[in-house]
Chains A and B, each alone.
Chain A
Amino acid sequence: MKNIFKYTFALLAIGFVSCDPEFDSPVTDEGFYTSGSADLSKYVSVGNSLTAGYADGALYITGQENSYPNIMAQQFSFAGGGEFTQPLMNDNVGGLLLGGAQITENRFVLAVGPDGSPSPVRLVGTPTTDITNRLTGPFNNMGVPGAKSFHLVAPGYGNVAGVPTGAANPYFARFASSESATVIGDAASQNPTFFSLWIGNNDILSYATSGGAGVDQTGNFDPSTYGPNDITDPNVFASVYSQQVDALTGAGAKGVLVNIPEVTSIPYFTTVPRNAIPLDAATAAQLNAQFSAYNTQILPGLVGVGIITPEEAALRMINFSAGQNFPIMTDDDLTDVTAILQGPPFSLPAPLAALLGQLRQVKSDDLIVLTASSVLGTTPDPSNPQGVIGVSIPLSDQYVLAVSEQARVTAASTAYNATIQALAGAKGLAYVDAKVALARVANGGVAYDGGILTSQFVTGGAFSLDGVHPTPRGYAYTANLIIQAINDTYDATIPMVHIGNYATITVTNSP
């Protein structure tokens, strides 16, 4: 009898012991995934808005939670990764306050208008993140929205007093270790065992998004003289980038460097069609008549007196036809003939001379920026229905990244990327060709388990509503690219994520 009880209890005990089902090799076991020759225990990410998880024209909590470094850190945790902290915003509205006054705009959401069609609008709401509330760091994620390469090594970039003048960055002001701290210093002082560095995008991007409104500073080695929309000199980039890599690898850390994608891969430059002006035959003929003097007398005349070349004259010709037409624009790379046209033999009135001063039509290889969609075809002066932007009023240069401007962007980014790749090779760091990867998204897309990830604005899944920054799904794709590079370089087996599990744009109508 005793034995019977004994056996019964033994059987019960077996049942209880195996209560929790165990896999033969659980993914949570140490050693299932490995970090290879890298040590992921202390990961620090350094970069700009992309690293911060900025999306939809703002920084907000759920965006930060889906930053590529945070996604990577979650995966690193399977292979010895440690805690990963981020300077989280205070809300999901996204705007920043400085002493109670709002200094950056709220996030975009996709809202359905009264006419039933959805479009990106700024979320209505009161932001609660005041940059005067400095967070106690350090934070593993050192992504600072807006930072250019040379900003990372600039002391005082996180000094809140410098924010109103543009000398400092409001995002870094929230978590800089001191008023004189540098981003790279705050990153390096955490003694990372592993780092990622993705910087340089803004060194060309602000120039591009401003339609080339800034200056190409190639040849100017003093970044303190640069304007916000300027292109950074490649030597300046190479110098500060190399400093940064040295600082981050100082304690023997391994890491990954990410290069700079083409601006043509992002919907900010590919969404608005170049020939957005629909005209009927009669209107086209009427417009051509208006511009006929410009085409047939003024331009040849300017060539005749040697003011412009025949090539420039050809570029400046205006011609409309029935159907879709290229808008007229002001191109500040053209010779400004405003003053000349007011003198003899043209003797045009000042307003007309100004209109024609740097006038041309958009060409098929120009890029029109996303924000042009809200001005093209509009009539800024309600009392003058004839004054239509793109038809009778030139589209401002800031809305068009002309071919000449694109060339400057490409030249600079090509130089930056050469630096990045060379440094990765020299230092034995993992290297991610984000340029090629994003071009793949833009050209045909990348298949995943729920469809195809493309750069199509709003519907493509990769880009958020600002047209520049990725969605969570786009960031997840980025995280996978970087993990792949780490696995390849360091013989690691860090698992990737299913990008279909990551959200795209946020639909909501403001309350």
Chain B
Amino acid sequence: MKKVLLIAVFALASAVTYAGGYRVSLQGNKALAMGHTGVAIVNSSELVFFNPAGLVYLDDKFNISAGASGVFSNIAYQDTESGANARTDSPVGTPLYLYASYKATDWLAFGLGVYTPYGSEVKYEDDWAGSHLVNNIDLKAIYIQPTVSFKVNDVISFGGGPIYVTGSVNFNRNLNRTLTDLDGNRANVTVDATGVSNWGWVASTMVNLTEDLHIGATYRSEIILDAEDGDATFENVPNSPLTPFEDTKINASLPLPAEMTVGMSYDFCEKWTFAFDFNRTFWDVYKSLDIDFANPDIPDSKNARNYKNASIYRFGMQYDATKMFTLRAGYYFDESPVQSGYFAPETPRNDSSNFTAGLTVNLGEHLQIDASFLYSYFKEIDASYNYYFENGQSVPFKGTYKTNAFVPGLGLTYKL
């Protein structure tokens, strides 16, 4: 009997979730305003992220760009079978970036970038219908990237550098659909890991086919964050040997996938620029999230994700309206890496259409204010996550999701 109960309790408890589709494309207000294109555009030190090879073509001796975005993202969930419904009350995310470039010689430039390409902050109401999968999650990864850029000639240049990543994650979910303490408070676990770091690299090239037509390619390597010695904190667990969930340490691996970008830009009619970027994100590294609890009485948690590689198609336009104003607009189509049946509520991403706009205000020779706005549109989708198990039986978490995000951003560029 005890064994039966143990198995029941543990089987219920085996679905720790993690952020999925947690790429956040907000790495520069100039680029974002143009649909987050930029692999073939030479206009500021945002190139440290988009294409380090292009830095050497900047006219400025120094170029510093910094900015932030406010991510207002919303998820609505409903299950027409039971009437269950929920809305996230996620805090406003504020991803930042800071880039600096220094042109040492005509053929050599250096750069430094700090940016946050991966992250996720989602907060549902505690104990909502999907609380056995996630109550809330906060994932942060800060990339720090020193860069060198050199040109072979006026046609082709190369760039790249190492990337140091430091990340943190905090998430909370209920242990299963039903376990409570004596007073009916749902048993839950918080996993917290901070200061998780690792190294990666970036390499890129830029080719100026003509004075007006540029193409670029950037590859950013995969970085696996191995969270060792994270903390698992259990709450509202009944006082019973049948539920031996005690606070313990955890190990887990979080992949930040590689990304390949190729693209072009074309200047036309003097004041106009058109840009197209194609991203391929190699999400297939994210097969499963496994959490290893140090306490041997607590079974490890294996959570299928089985992401697929996904593409993003980005289009941007820029118009130098006046000496003071540069206007931008863009669109991108973002393919979801989530496969059918793996749609987990912590980042319920289906394909999205994204509309961007923005402008730069030139305040004299040296200072620019960059503003951008992004609206992400997701179609309503009926989806399920089928890899949560009770008693060895799949218990799909089904429902209809409707998601959106709007992201105003503001930055400064200072150049010498």
**Complex: how many Å from CA A21 to CA B405?**
9
Instruction: Please determine whether A4 and B321 come into contact, CB atoms closer than 8 angstroms.
Output: yes
Q: Contact residues of A with B, CB < 8 Å?
A: 1, 4, 8, 11-12, 14-16, 18-24, 26-28, 32-33, 61-62, 65, 75, 78, 92, 109-112, 116-118, 123, 449-451, 458-459, 472-473, 495-498, 500-504, 506-509, 511
Residue from the list A11, A28, A123, A497 in contact with B85, Cβ < 8 A: A28
**Complex: how many Å from CA A501 to CA B85?**
14
**Complex: how many Å from CA A363 to CA B80?**
51
Residue from the list B83, B184, B242, B373 in contact with A92, Cβ < 8 A: B184
**Complex: how many Å from CA A504 to CA B5?**
11
Instruction: Please determine whether B396 and A449 come into contact, CB atoms closer than 8 angstroms.
Output: yes
Query: Interface stretch among B69-77, B253-261, B285-293, B310-318?
Result: B69-77
Known A-B contacts A16-B406, A500-B395; A4 and B4 likewise in contact (beta carbons under 8 Å): no
Enumerate chain B residues within 8 angstroms of A21, measured Cβ to Cβ: 74-76, 378, 402-404
Enumerate chain B residues within 8 angstroms of A18, measured Cβ to Cβ: 375, 404, 406
Enumerate chain B residues within 8 angstroms of A28, measured Cβ to Cβ: 78, 85
Across the A-B interface, give the 6 residue pairs with the lowest CB-CB distance, nearest first. Answer: A62-B184, A15-B406, A450-B390, A503-B178, A495-B83, A21-B402
**Complex: how many Å from CA A109 to CA B238?**
11
Enumerate chain A residues within 8 angstroms of B327, measured Cβ to Cβ: 4
**Complex: how many Å from CA A110 to CA B4?**
14
Enumerate chain B residues within 8 angstroms of A4, measured Cβ to Cβ: 321, 325, 327, 359
* Interfacial residues of chain B within 389-410, with CB under 8 A of chain A in the complex: 390-391, 393, 395-396, 400, 402-404, 406, 408
Enumerate chain B residues within 8 angstroms of A507, measured Cβ to Cβ: 5, 9, 238, 240, 242-243
Instruction: Please determine whether B1 and A20 come into contact, CB atoms closer than 8 angstroms.
Output: no
**Complex: how many Å from CA A449 to CA B8?**
14
Enumerate chain B residues within 8 angstroms of A472, measured Cβ to Cβ: 178
Instruction: Please determine whether B85 and A504 come into contact, CB atoms closer than 8 angstroms.
Output: no
Shortest CB distance B108–A (Å): 39
In the complex formed, the residue of B with least CB distance to A511 is: B239
Q: Does B129 contact A (CB under 8 A)?
A: yes
Enumerate chain A residues within 8 angstroms of B153, measured Cβ to Cβ: none
Shortest CB distance A465–B (Å): 13
Instruction: Please determine whether B83 and A27 come into contact, CB atoms closer than 8 angstroms.
Output: yes
In the complex, number of A-B residue pairs with CB atoms less than 8 Å apart = 144
Instruction: Please determine whether B178 and A27 come into contact, CB atoms closer than 8 angstroms.
Output: no
Instruction: Please determine whether A61 and B184 come into contact, CB atoms closer than 8 angstroms.
Output: yes
**Complex: how many Å from CA A23 to CA B357?**
26
**Complex: how many Å from CA A4 to CA B390?**
56
* Interfacial residues of chain B within 72-99, with CB under 8 A of chain A in the complex: 72, 74-76, 78-85, 87
Q: Does B246 contact A (CB under 8 A)?
A: no
Enumerate chain B residues within 8 angstroms of A496, measured Cβ to Cβ: 81-82
Shortest CB distance B73–A (Å): 10
**Complex: how many Å from CA A484 to CA B129?**
22
Enumerate chain B residues within 8 angstroms of A497, measured Cβ to Cβ: 82
Instruction: Please determine whether B83 and A62 come into contact, CB atoms closer than 8 angstroms.
Output: no
Interface 1/0 per residue, B155-186 and A, CB below 8 Å: 00000000000000000000001111111100
Known A-B contacts A23-B380, A92-B183; A508 and B240 likewise in contact (beta carbons under 8 Å): yes
Q: Choose among A4, A116, A498 the residue with the greatest number of B CB atoms under 10 Å from its CB.
A: A498
**Complex: how many Å from CA A19 to CA B183?**
37
Shortest CB distance A360–B (Å): 32
Instruction: Please determine whether B83 and A503 come into contact, CB atoms closer than 8 angstroms.
Output: no
**Complex: how many Å from CA A118 to CA B238?**
14
Given contacts A4-B359, A16-B406, A506-B180, 18 further A-B contacts (CB under 8 A): A4-B327, A15-B373, A18-B375, A20-B74, A61-B184, A112-B2, A112-B242, A116-B241, A118-B242, A449-B395, A458-B1, A459-B8, A498-B84, A500-B395, A503-B180, A507-B240, A508-B182, A508-B238
Shortest CB distance B123–A (Å): 15
Known A-B contacts A450-B395, A500-B177, A501-B177; A506 and B380 likewise in contact (beta carbons under 8 Å): no
Enumerate chain B residues within 8 angstroms of A459, measured Cβ to Cβ: 1, 4-5, 8
Residue from the list A12, A118, A450, A509 in contact with B408, Cβ < 8 A: A12
**Complex: how many Å from CA A8 to CA B33?**
12
Instruction: Please determine whether A451 and B390 come into contact, CB atoms closer than 8 angstroms.
Output: yes
Known A-B contacts A62-B184, A459-B4, A504-B178; A22 and B76 likewise in contact (beta carbons under 8 Å): yes
**Complex: how many Å from CA A78 to CA B84?**
10
* Interfacial residues of chain B within 285-335, with CB under 8 A of chain A in the complex: 321-322, 325, 327
Instruction: Please determine whether A506 and B238 come into contact, CB atoms closer than 8 angstroms.
Output: yes
